[in-house]
Amino acid sequence: MRTRPPFQAKTLALLLAGIAVILGLSLLPPVQRKLSEFWVDVRFFFNPPAEVVFVPTQQAQLDLLATPTAPNSTPTPTAASLPPELATPTLTPTPLPLYVRLSGVVYVDQANRWNYCGPANLTMALKFWGWNGTRDDVAAAVKPGRNDPSVDFIERGRTDVNVMPYELVNFVNEQTEFRALWRYGGNIDLLRRFLAAGYPVVVEKGHFDTDSSGTFSWMGHYQFVTGYDDADGTFLVQDTYHYGPNHLVAYEEFEAEWRAFNFLFYIVYPPEREAEIYTLLGNWGDPVWANQHSLEVARADTQSLTDPWDLYFAWFNVGTANVQLYQYADAASAYDYAFQLYANLGAENTQRPYRMLWYQTGPYFAYYYTGRYQDVINLANITLASSRFGPTLEESLYWRAMAEYALGDYVSAYNDMRQTVYYNPNFAPGWAKLQEWGISP
């Protein structure tokens, strides 16, 4: 009878032990994340998300559809209506100071956290008025993180790559003693007016920066505006990510980056100062006027701008303003043209802003409420595939589920809707639909 030589037996045992160790290590959450990130890097190398283009396929259906009525509820509601006791005042122009730099600003960064731009900026806005909370208190409500106990505190919420303005405003109004509101269609003079009156403002804008993967690319960003200098033509901003505190941004650059988000801004203030806030807002106090104004600004931009990059954002803004006004057919047409411009963006623009639907979900509204359900699904598929963390965008999952349900694919719809509240347990629209559909999370 032949026996295996001792050396070969030991070698085989060591080999099997090594394989067992490797398999064991591969089951550890940190190792699994690293392996997952490696394969994402491989996938993005061969199929960069900026090279994937959404092509609307149901445009012809618009001619066959009447403009639908406004929905009863939506995941991203428009700003609250103007309180009846606060009539929109007629402002008497008064000269503003040439220089304003607000005191009492407490700088908060987003370091050592994932995608903390929203919580960090809101924390600064609240601390300006004396709030004692932290950025983690904000994040616990607006981006609580997926229900995965293997993810530690610092990394919890990293899969939630964006916090919507309405989520931040709702946090203030529902979980603090302060008040907040947001509007589209702001401008430089309006910001200066608030700053001169002692109110800092948070804006949402786009910019190019190096992301967590080391790639220089376009992304959305909140910035806390705390001063201005007309002599230099600059705003003073507190940047949570790259530039740090007391960073100066030229008016022209600021406006160009702000355009990417339809000139959206929000303000935090003590409730006893609400009348003063509406006086400063003037016509912007009425959200319908603000949305109509943003539409007029966007249309004017489509006529005056020539750079393809700027035109893409201008036409996208036309779509967004129409969505806010419940004019979904017009919005869908505008978005169709914006996506056509997007497809034609060339190398001179560095790369396409593929993260756009992470932050702004207007196209989902427009296509869904004009019956273009397959376009909703196709756009959601592209958007979800563009995240390094996988299909974790609850808004895109929500709209894909809605379109799947409309097309009769109930199994897929239920699974997607369950995922919305898995990745964000505080996502109220997802819970509402699960209850309406009579299914468990």
Q: At what angle do helices 287-304 and 308-324 cross, to 10 degrees?
A: 160
Task: Enter the tokens of residue 372.
Answer: 């273009």
Q: Tell me what pLDDT residue 2 has.
A: 53
Q: In the prediction, which pLDDT does 72 show?
A: 41
Q: Is the pLDDT of residue 9 over 50?
A: yes
The per-residue pLDDT for 135 is 96
pLDDT at 358 over 80: yes
State whether 251 and 157 are in the same domain.
yes
Backbone angles phi, psi at 18, to 5 degrees: -65, -40
pLDDT score of 413: 98
Q: Same domain, yes or no, for 108 and 214? A: yes
Decide: 207 and 342 in contact? Cβ < 8 Å. Answer: no
24-76 per-position pLDDT tens digit = 655 555 554 554 444 445 555 556 787 888 999 876 554 444 443 444 434 44
Same domain? 396 vs 262: no
Task: Say yes or no: 331 and 400 in one domain.
Answer: yes
CA distance 354 to 334: 18
Domain, as residue range, for 406: 34-73+326-437
Share of residues in the chain with pLDDT > 70 (%)? 79
Give, in order, the Cα–Cα distances in Å from 53 to each of 145, 241, 357, 365, 383. 29, 29, 12, 19, 10
- Cα–Cα separations (whole angstroms), residue 271 to 62, 169, 177: 44, 13, 8
* Positions of E strands within 285-338: none
Query: CA 176 → CA 116, 164, 173, 267, 425, distances in Å?
Result: 19, 18, 6, 14, 20
Residue 26 maps to a domain: no
Confidence of residue 80 (pLDDT cuts 50, 70, 90): very low
Q: What is the per-residue pLDDT for 36?
A: 47
pLDDT single digits (tens) 366-386 = 999 999 999 999 999 999 999
Average pLDDT over residues 387-393: 85
pLDDT at 47: 67
- Domain membership of residue 269 (yes or no) is yes
List, for residues 99-131, the tens digit of each pLDDT value: 999 999 999 999 999 889 999 999 999 999 999
User: In this model, does residue 87 exceed pLDDT 80?
Assistant: no
**Domain-located, residue 312:** no
- The residue out of 232, 261, 285 marking a domain boundary is 285
- Number of structural domains found in the chain: 2
Contact 275, 86 (CB under 8 A): yes
Note whether 117 and 250 are same-domain residues: yes
Q: Could you report the per-residue pLDDT of 159-213, keeping only the tens digit for each?
A: 888 999 999 999 999 999 999 999 999 999 999 999 999 999 999 999 888 776 6
Which residues is 252 bridged to in the sheet?
none
Report yes or no on 257 lying in a domain. yes
Answer yes or no: do 110 and 214 share one domain: yes
52 neighbors 386 (Cβ within 8 angstroms): yes
The SS3 assignment for 269 reads: strand
Average pLDDT of the chain to the nearest whole number:
86
Question: Is residue 6 assigned to a domain?
Answer: no
Is residue 83 included in any domain, yes or no?
no
Which residue, of 230, 253, 285, is where some domain finishes?
Answer: 285
For residues 43 and 105, membership in a common domain is answered with no
- For residue 265, which phi and psi values (nearest 5 degrees)? -145, 155
Q: Give residue 233's pLDDT band: very low, low, confident or very high (50, 70, 90).
A: very high
79 Cβ neighbours under 8 A, 6+ residues apart: 181, 182, 183, 287, 290
Residue with tokens 């089951």: 27
List the CATH number of the domain containing 201. Answer: 3.90.70.10
108 and 225 share one domain: yes
Secondary element (H or E) of residue 222: strand 216-229
Residue 15 in domain: no
Per residue in 266-320, pLDDT (tens digit) is 999 999 999 999 999 999 999 999 999 999 999 999 999 999 999 999 999 999 9
Residue 15's pLDDT is what?
Answer: 72
Task: Looking at the structure, tell me whether residues 276 and 395 fall in a common domain.
Answer: no
Confirm whether 355 is domain-assigned.
Answer: yes
**pLDDT score, position 45:** 57
Q: What is the C-alpha separation between 352 and 339, in angstroms, rounded?
A: 11
Residues 176, 276, single domain; the answer is: yes
CATH classification of the domain holding 424: 1.25.40.10
Same domain (yes/no): 267, 339: no
| Residue 6, pLDDT score | 62
Torsions phi, psi of 100, nearest 5? -135, 130
Q: How confident is the model at residue 94 (pLDDT cuts 50, 70, 90)?
A: confident
